[in-house]
Amino acid sequence: MALERTAMALLLLLLTAFAQAASASGLDLDAAKSQGLVGEKADGFVGIVVANPTAPVAALVKNINAKRAAGYAEIAKQNGTSVDAVAALAGAKLIERASTGEWVTDSTGTWRKK
């Protein structure tokens, strides 16, 4: 139980830091979400919602997902669990925390507005 709380605390800290990340264009994750360009996926990563994303949107998603993958790997290592388990837990928490009107996926990968 204490291990799970520690992992959750690390995960929430990590997710908060990722939400603050911005690309060179000044577009940050929160702005991209509110504009309906990207959304949270059940696998713990950000996905592009629009059919033809701009280069800054694609770069933002790539940057955020690389940081998340590294963070999930570190948390998994510290807690003796799989990266997939950490990512899935993060995905569930991120979808739970998503604001009304933001895009999220369900477990089948289907996009829907929350």
Residue 103 has pLDDT above 80, yes or no: yes
Give yes or no for a contact between 38 and 57, defined as CB atoms under 8 angstroms apart: yes
Predicted local confidence at residue 107, as pLDDT: 79
pLDDT at residue number 23: 47
Question: What pTM was computed for the model?
Answer: 0.80
CA distances from 15 to 68, 76, 97, 106 (A): 8, 15, 11, 19
Which range marks the domain in which residue 78 is found? 2-113
Looking at the chain, the whole-number percentage of residues with pLDDT higher than 70 is 78
Domain count, the chain: 1
